Chains A and B, each alone.
Chain A
Amino acid sequence: MNSKTTSSRPERHLTTGLRVYLLRHLQVFFYSLGQLSRSPFATLMTAAVIGIALALPTGLHLMLKNARQLSGGWDGATQISLFLKRTVQEEQARRLANQIRNLPGVAGVRFISRREALNEFRRLSGFGDALTALEDNPLPSVLVIQPTLAASDPGKTGRLLQRLRQYPAVDIAQLDMQWVKRLYAIMNIVQRGVLVLAILLGIAVLLVIGNTIRLAIQNRRAEIVVMKLIGGTDGFIRRPFLYTGFWYGVFGGMIAYLLVTLSVSILAGPIEKLAGLYQHHFRLTGLDAEATLLLLLIGILLGLGGSWLAVGRHLREIEPA
């Protein structure tokens, strides 16, 4: 009985200690929010700077994502189209297709006969009526060759292309989708650019928050001195400033979200119209829940980081004298 009470006492003490600690955190959490709401204009200005800085890379990222989605339909690897001479008969063409199918580096061959080509063209081009006016089918038969994955790098496809050109039945051998590759390469560069921009703007956010917190520290110099005199630890003194940085990050992230969402809604209409002109169904996608959460999280981390830097540098300078 006696040992039971002594063993339970420190435990109870520990839980009260923890509860008090969490309560203090909660109080500072809302206290720092209250401090910010006392000067709403200044707070909004700082948060807006952060918001714009975060919105820029977020918007660019979104653009890239949409562009990738748009080009996703052409994601197949390189194809080679062999346009056969018009004198080549269908039987002959089929034999050639079988021959090519057995070549190394070829995954598959699709034969499109002249009639099929005509039908396809009629269906897709909208020149159906004009074509029926023609006496003769102007289209050649085509072999569409899909290289194996291992052979789809530019060097190997180039060699395959050379080899296919040497068949006497071949009129033109054309490497398709080269431009898709170029587009991807360009998008990769743009993506790098966005990353660099995001890092630079992230640093800017860090500095903006750091500077704001530095001013807050200077405004509350007297309070910090008193805290230090009566035994406040660095952690205790730091806490309200860290929470202030946290709030700046949250507000900045929210403003960034609003800016991006607003921009998307402004652009969505015209882009849909443009896609419609290309007979293409395309909807601009906005920020999904995951991206929004990530945006807020990055804002919060930058807010905490900026204030941590400022507090670490300036709190030591203030000593009671």
Chain B
Amino acid sequence: MIRFTHASKRYTSGFDALQDVSFHMPAGQMAFLTGHSGAGKSTLLKLIALLERSSRGQVFVNGQNLGKIPRWRIPYFRRNIGIIFQDHQLLFDRTVFDNVALPLIIAGYPQREIGRRVRAALDKVGLLGKEKVYPITLSGGEQQRVGIARAVVNKPPLLLADEPTGNLDPELSREIMTIFEEFSQVGVTVLVATHDIALIETLPYRVLALKNGKLHYDSDPSEET
């Protein structure tokens, strides 16, 4: 599902955020991406979501070479990736329902379908019944779950999460991880960037560790890269 071949990212400032990173993540796998802040976790996720382009080497997602996707195709490409952010990136002037419905509206789903799918996504994250409230009235954990519902509402095959439990206490973090595990079990590829070592050590998933922009440790290097 995701393949990096000698991918590097140098920002225009001259800073090397990623250097010669190669790995392969098969479809349906769940993995953690760890490392200190500044190690390149966010940059790696940005390369996958085409928020940045690699300066050298190649990145493939779902068999597509991202270097060959023109700018105007990027929105359509991103519709196949659910992205979850540490700061949720919710729109606070819209209800929970409208926030979650946004990817479907953008993709042009019919109204009836939208209602059904939004309720299904909210049900999955345990927020059914909060459709009509505004995100500001929710707790941090609940806001994060709205973000997850929005990311999965159009059933993307790939889910990326950047520090999704960054601001949450251990118990809520555990809950969020359980939600990710459930998606993984139905075949979604899940890549979670986190520095919460204590949490991921309790879970049986692959760990990719970055250090100073290089792939420093891979618990489960799968076949060729």
Binding site for B on A (CB under 8 A): 16-17, 19-21, 23-24, 222-223, 225-234, 236, 319-321
Beyond A226-B91, A320-B51, A321-B51, is A231–B78 a contact (Cβ under 8 Å)? yes
Question: Shortest distance in angstroms between A321's beta carbon and chain B's nearest beta carbon?
Answer: 7
Chain A: CB-nearest residue to B107: A231
Which of B91, B107, B111 is A23 in contact with, Cβ under 8 Å? B111
- What mask results when residues 8 to 28 of chain B are scored 1 for a CB within 8 Å of chain A, else 0? 000000000000000000000
B217 close to chain A: CB less than 8 A: no
Minimum CB–CB distance for A102 against chain B, Å? 78
**Total A-B Cβ pairs within 8 A:** 55
B75, B91, B110: the one within 8 Å of A232 (CB): B75
Asked whether B105 is an interface residue with its Cβ less than 8 Å from the other chain, the reply is yes
Query: Distance (Å) between the CB of A223 and the closest chain B CB?
Result: 6
B110 near A16 with CB under 8 A, answer yes
**A residues near B76, Cβ cutoff 8 Å:** 231, 233
Q: Is B33 in contact with chain A by the CB < 8 A criterion?
A: no
A312 to B103, CA, bound (A): 23
Residues of B within 8 A of A20 (CB): 108-111
Asked whether B89 is an interface residue with its Cβ less than 8 Å from the other chain, the reply is yes
Q: Interface readout for B85-124 with A: 1 if CB under 8 Å, 0 if not?
A: 0000111000000000011011111110000000000000
Bound complex: CA A208 to CA B84 (Å): 38
* B102-A226 in contact (CB<8A): yes
Question: Taking CB as reference atom, which chain B residue is nearest A16?
Answer: B110
Q: Which B60-85 residues have C-beta < 8 A from chain A?
A: 72, 75-79, 83
Is A222 in contact with B91, judged by CB distance below 8 angstroms?
yes
Task: Report how far A228 CA is from B103 CA in the complex, Å.
Answer: 10
Instruction: Please name all residues of chain A whose beta carbon is closer than 8 Å to the beta carbon of B83 when the two chains form the complex.
Output: 229-230
Write the chain B residue with the least CB distance to A23. Answer: B111
Complex contacts, B109 vs chain A, CB 8 Å: 20
Across the interface, do A225 and B89 meet the contact criterion of CB distance under 8 Å? yes
Q: Which of A16, A19, A222, A231 has a CB less than 8 Å from the CB of B106?
A: A231
Once the chains bind, are B91 and A231 in contact (CB under 8 Å)?
no
Which of B77, B90, B106 contacts A236, CB < 8 Å? B106
Cβ-defined partner of A223 (8 Å) among B51, B79, B91, B108:
B91
